[in-house]
Chains A and B, each alone.
Chain A
Amino acid sequence: MIRPLRRRHLQIWSALCVLIPAGIVTAWFSIKRPLHNGVLQPAAAQALPNIIFSVEQKDYVVRLRSSDTLPEQLEWINKNILTVPSAVIYETVAGGEDVKSADLIGRIEAKGNYYFPLQRNSIKEKPKFILYDFIHEEIIDSLNFRP
């Protein structure tokens, strides 16, 4: 390697020494945290016994479940593989349309059952769930639950 190239390498890596840690810190602090759990589903999640509301679409069934002791639960059953593979679920209240102010509940991917613990009291607050494509930044579906 010639001397100017050695010098160039050192300059580039000195710059990356600043840029990469800055990028890591910025990206880490901008992560939107889900309410209770990791975005990908824990395999051992179990459905709660009582169904409060239920909505059935062509490709998925969505239910709000509860029990006497645990917080409410969102059950999402993908009957088919979604045409949009990069989907996350946001929870907001009836009338809310903006995912920026909504709570990130979790991510769904392949066919199967997904269970997410919820924080709100759904019976009182009329929850709304937004299925959101984060690659294309667009709402795929909005699900309103009414008592």
Chain B
Amino acid sequence: MSASYQAVLWNRQKKHYDWLIFAFCTTYLAVFTSVTLVYNPQVTFETLLIRSTSTLALLLLHVILSIGPLTRINKKFFPLLYNRRHLGVTMFCIAAVHGLFSILQFHTLGNVNPIVSLFTSNTRFDSVSAFPFQALGFFALVIFFLMAITSHDFWLHNLSPKVWKTLHMFVYLAYFLVVMHVLLGVIQYETNPVFVIILVLGSGALITLHLVAGFQETKKDNIKFHLQRESFVMVCDVNDIEEDRAKMFCLDKERIAVYKTDGKLFAVSNVCKHQNGPLGEGKVIDGCITCPWHGYQYLPHNGQSPPPFKERISTYDVKIEESKVWVNPVPYPEGTERPGAIITINQKEEMFV
């Protein structure tokens, strides 16, 4: 969280995260190179580079795409999400090396512009085995490029979260293009089934994770709250909520996070202003509701980020009656101060019975 833009707002976690990425990538490239040289010592540098970067980029893409559903299934994976953008930019750089050297290797020796050659040398769009698979990889790389250059918060704020998120949802199209690029490319001229097995396992795991997480979230969104009184809806018991944590409830169109902190309950929008992160899955740190995705903070009683920050979220009325928590799903304008609901001594005692 920052009041002004910087290229990278380094902190301890980000440095550790990036060192881990660097160590993993260099180890992978070293192992891939060594194994290839043992089994195929005549391999050229260009071919080795093209193959090692392609497999590494594909592996990183699978890791990146699995982080989102993993965090929705288990909160322990949130640290992976914190600096996911650096992982994405790293993956793009590695994929770009693969793309660049592939174009150099396959399309620079003729008298046609290499990019023109990429699209005109093979036009067998009616064939599966001879499909011009390189074009699929090229389009995927263009999507990764657009995502990488707009990954900074500057673009998030200037494009608006809606446009930014829509643009970054194209990663799923890019993933499909990459899968087809592999299937219609290298696999067509390799009889070793290990390539297909790895791809089936990777995409199978990814699809399963996303579907499991997606159905879990839909189930949460569709929970019905039947007990209503004077525009308030009964959502849970006060002792269902842990101290400095929240529970989320989808009462109308969007989820509301009910936080318990400092002897009170506060209800705020569950949607972080930064990247729509789930505030209800975060916790109260230094008296502020802290988004689990990137650490954006809001004061529980008014939904405002502490100065000098200017983000604001909606607040809601919440009350406690006989240890039951009631929430009014009509939002107040963003940043409106609300008193919260005081947890009385009796309610606290009930909590420990």
Contacts and interface: CB of A to CB of B under 8 A. Distances in A.
Do A and B form a real pair? yes
Nearest to B161: A2
Given A2-B271, A13-B207, A13-B211, A40 B40 contact: yes
Interface in B160-204: 165, 169, 172, 175-176, 179-180, 183-184, 187-192, 196, 199-200, 203
A12 B169 contact: yes
Contacts of A1: 271, 276-278
A41 B215 CA distance: 47
Interface residues of A, number: 47
B162 to A, nearest CB: 9
A119 to B, nearest CB: 16
Interface of B: 39-40, 42-44, 46-47, 68, 105-106, 109, 117, 121-122, 124, 128-130, 134, 165, 169, 172, 175-176, 179-180, 183-184, 187-192, 196, 199-200, 203, 207, 210-211, 214-215, 217-218, 221, 250, 253-255, 271, 276-278
Contact of A32 (B109, B184, B188, B215): B188
A3 B248 CA distance: 13
Contact of A83 (B47, B109, B190): B109
Contacts, number: 132
Interface residue SS majority, chain B? helix
B169 A8 contact: yes
B105 A85 contact: yes
B199 A24 contact: yes
A6 B218 contact: yes
A107 B192 contact: no
A14 B208 CA distance: 10
A79 interface: no
Contacts of B43: 109-110
A70 interface: no
